Amino acid sequence: MNKKLPALSVYFASIVSGFVIMGVELIAGRILAPYFGGGIYVWGSIITVFMLALSIGYLLGGKWSLSDPSLKKLSMLYAAGAILLLPLPFLGQPLMEALFVRIEDPRYGSLLTSFILFFPSTIVLGMIAPYAVRLLTVSTQETGMTAGKLYFVSTLGSALGTIMTSFYLVMVFTLPALFGGFIGILLVFAAVLYFMPAIDNQETTS
């Protein structure tokens, strides 16, 4: 097997994680719209929740990467993200109905709904990028370049997820189908990374 394949798989998987994060964020607006509308406060709630969750995920991912990083552990993040996304198509409507009658102000209703539905899965998906940086770093001199490449491909994936979801996917697929597709993609890459051989020449840096 090509020695570069494990590292390339991490880069490609990072594109996928960025794609899924932005795809889910855009779908969140469609989920909340029937109950809370599609105004700026709804999107403000969604963006706030996603940014806060990602920031916590970056912190936790960096911390977790300090303890014996491996492709198998990285695969666990993809699997966990998929599992946390799984209930969303089923919990969304009952949750919004319950909050809609209890919280009169749609600003806070949309904020609380976004927090409950999307905060846990986004934290886990946010852990992927810093963990992947640590996994691919073979020396302290290469840390900056590795981080730059990883965040480049991850952001590229986010851009693709944004344009593909908003321009095409929401026009063709139902929301449950989209969630199913995102979950399936994460599980596929969880399996790929789990069975991929270890990255060569990885050194422990301090």
Model confidence at 105, in pLDDT bands (50, 70, 90)?
A: confident
**Per-residue pLDDT reduced to its tens digit, 23-47:** 999 999 999 998 888 899 999 999 9
This prediction's pTM: 0.90
Q: Tokens standing for 101?
A: 């009658």
Residue among 123, 143, 116 at smallest CA distance from 204:
143
Q: Where are the domains of the chain?
A: 15-195
Q: Given this structure, which CATH class describes domain 15-195?
A: mainly alpha
3-class state of residue 201 by DSSP: coil
Average pLDDT rounded to a whole number, residues 33-62: 94
**Per-residue pLDDT reduced to its tens digit, 137-168:** 865 667 788 889 999 999 999 999 999 999 99
Q: Residue type at 204?
A: T
Q: How far apart are the first and last CA of the chain?
A: 30
- Can you tell me the distance from the alpha carbon of 190 to that of 77, in angstroms, rounded to the nearest whole number? 8
